[in-house]
Every structure is written in structure tokens, then in C-alpha cells.
Structure 1
């Protein structure tokens, strides 16, 4: 039986445009693999704006308990990567937690 996600955990961070191409591979190598090992799914997005670049990571979880086990505590607390302070314009203070109300699988 396939477990469906009921929770999306969303992290956002922004860099200056001149460091975005360095931060992206770092985020892919250091931030994404730990999520891929335990979450039901992970997506990474990049939005290049005129002077800054936004990165958004969405991970999908079966429930709050699974997410809390991964974060070892408060699921909205941000666990910064070692080099985030070097790359990010400011360190995000929280994670967004959203209940999934509609999944495209429900529409098929």
C-alpha cells in the first residue's frame, strides 16, 4: 500500500543573483538528500528575479509525527545548512507547514 502525503513542509530562502549558481548545487548536495531519505517526495524550485534568486523546497509527509521525527523536535524550526549564512541574504526563521487538501491524484 502506497502512503499518501497529508502534509507539505515548505522552506524558502533567497540569495543574491551572483551567488545563486553556487548555492544551487550546494543545496542539491547538502539539503535535498536527507529529505529524500525519509520524506514521501521532495521538490526544489528556483525563481530568478532581477537582483535576487529564491529557492523553495517542498517535502511531503504522511503526517506531522513523521515530520517531527525527522526534525527531532519542532517541525517549523529551521535547521540551517552549514554554509547557509554565507549564501543566503538572511536566514529563514521558520518553515511553513501546510495540510494537503487536494492532490491531483484525487482528480484522476
Structure 2
């Protein structure tokens, strides 16, 4: 039986445009794979602006218990990647946890 996600865990960070491609590749190599092994789904979004590039990672979870097991503690605690301090404008201080009220209707 396929599990339906009920929780979205959202991380956002920004970098300078000159680091955007490098950070995207780094995040895809180091940040996304652990999520792909455990979460029901993962999205990495990128928004290029004139003076900065924003990245948003959304992972989807069946319940709080599975997300808490993955994070080994508080799911709102940010777990920074080794090079985040080098590549991001500042280290994000929090993770957003959202209850999924209407799941995506994909066709």
C-alpha cells in the first residue's frame, strides 16, 4: 500500500548568484540523497533573482513519527550541510513543518 504524505518539511536558504550553480550541485549531491532514501517524496526548487538565488527543499512525510526518526530529534531543528556556511548568505535558523490539508492532484 502506498503511503500518503500528511506532513511537508520545508527548508529555505539563499546564496549569491555566483554561487548558485555550485550550491545547487552540492545540495543535489549531499542534501537530497538522504531525504530520497527516507521521505515519501522530495522537491528542490530554485528561484533566481537579480541579487540572490533562493533554494527551497520540500520533503514529504507520512507522519511526524517518521520525520522525527529521520531527523533523530526535533524535526524543526536545522541540520546544516558541511559547506552551507561557505556557500549560503546566512545559515537558516528554522525549518517549517506544514500539515498537508489538500494533497497534490497529479494527473
User: TM-score, normalization: structure 2?
Assistant: 0.97
Q: Which residue does the alignment assign to 2:90?
A: 90
Q: Which residue does the alignment assign to 2:59?
A: 59
| 1:68 pairs with 2:68 | yes
| 1:36 pairs with 2:36 | yes
Q: How many residues align?
A: 107
CA–CA distance in structure 2, aligned partners of residues 72 and 53 of structure 1: 30
User: TM-score, normalization: structure 1?
Assistant: 0.96
Q: Give, in angstroms, the shift of residue 104 of structure 1.
A: 2.7
CA–CA distance in structure 1, aligned partners of residues 104 and 85 of structure 2: 36
CA RMSD of the aligned region, Å? 1.2
Q: Give, in angstroms, the shift of residue 103 of structure 1.
A: 1.1
Structure 1 unmatched ranges of 5 or more:
none
Structure 2 unmatched ranges of 5 or more:
none
